[in-house]
Amino acid sequence: MTTIFHLSDLHFGPKFNTHLSELVLADTRAAKPDLTILSGDFTMRGRVSEYEQAQAYVAQLPTPVLTIPGNHDQPLHLSGLAERLTNPWRRYKQYIRSEVDTSLEIPGVFVVGVNSNNRIVPGGIWSNKQRAFIEREFSRARADACKIFVTHHHLEWNGKYRPFGTWFPTGQLEWLERLGVELVLNGHTHVPLTLRTAQGIVIAQAGTSMSGRVRHGHGNAYNQITIQPRALTVRIMGYDAGSDRFVERSAQSFPRRVPTQISVPGAAA
Ligand SMILES: [Fe+2]
Ligand SMILES: [Fe+2]
């Protein structure tokens, strides 16, 4: 069994909750997950001071850690605007991870994560170059690996929460399904959510684990995911003020996809 902790939207800066961050850190270290994934928005405005705190926090998480940036990780303050336009991910690369598109393999699991943000228009966009990267990376996965895709913006967009998710999500989900993706992890909405799409892909959306910027009546939360040969399970762990700890709010299990031969145009045989 593989265990993954999925945290998102830490948002170091205003409204950051240090106490919650310590609880999450203690949970994560105690569980010793096989992998920790953070799906973007490490900072509030992309300030250096926020990045310094985020870097120190991420360094305490059990490894391996996979990260992708969020829209709030580009400078969004007066003195950082020029950098946002010319080199928006310099600080992310300096403090969090040297690349914005990434992949990682552990036994039984292959993860690809991409930067879905844009410096000007709302994010939820992948370039042709990124699509080639996603295809190429997943083509390296073993046939029996659980393929996980990580992006900051949400793909299942029912209009209920916020409009700014991934552009043309149905086509993207169909494409990911053809690549053999079983599980998509995202953040951005600050709303914890688990569902299975019409394409058969499980979506695990993490809430904000330690920011006061909670939305739509949802509290702070993170996800615990377990992957077994025949099932994957997503547990939403929400903060309970009464007991002052994160407790299980929901647990949903889904049967694994039967491995199929994936053919990717242009990929090496
Ligand atoms: Fe966020
Ligand atoms: Fe975001």
Whether residue 266 lies inside any domain: the answer is no
The three-point CA angle 238-240-243 to 5° equals: 140
pLDDT of residue 178: 97
pLDDT of residue 259: 58
Whether residue 107 lies inside any domain: the answer is yes
CA of 187 to the centre of ligand 1 (A): 7
pLDDT of residue 268: 44
Closest ligand, as measured to the CA of 44: 1
pLDDT of residue 122: 83
CA of 192 to the centre of ligand 1 (A): 12
pLDDT of residue 168: 85
Whether residue 267 lies inside any domain: the answer is no
Instruction: Supply the CATH number for residue 227's domain.
Output: 3.60.21.10
Q: Are 54 and 83 in contact (CB under 8 A)?
A: no
pTM metric for this prediction: 0.93
CA of 266 to the centre of ligand 2 (A): 33
Whether residue 81 lies inside any domain: the answer is yes
* CA-to-CA separations, 30 to 23, 33, 171, 185, 222, in angstroms, rounded: 11, 9, 39, 22, 15
CA of 198 to the centre of ligand 1 (A): 26
Whether residue 269 lies inside any domain: the answer is no
Please name the amino acid found at residue 184: V
pLDDT of residue 159: 53
CA of 85 to the centre of ligand 1 (A): 20
Whether residue 18 lies inside any domain: the answer is yes
Q: Are 159 and 178 in contact (CB under 8 A)?
A: no
Whether residue 217 lies inside any domain: the answer is yes
What total number of domains does the chain contain? Answer: 1
pLDDT of residue 80: 83
What is the domain range of residue 44?
Answer: 2-255
CA of 105 to the centre of ligand 1 (A): 26
Whether residue 142 lies inside any domain: the answer is yes
pLDDT by 10s per residue, the chain, length 269: 999 999 999 999 999 999 999 999 999 999 999 999 999 999 999 999 999 999 999 999 999 999 999 999 999 888 888 898 899 999 999 999 999 999 999 999 999 999 999 888 888 889 999 999 999 999 999 999 999 999 999 998 665 555 678 888 889 999 999 999 999 999 999 999 999 999 999 999 999 999 988 888 889 999 999 999 999 999 999 999 999 999 999 999 999 986 554 555 554 43
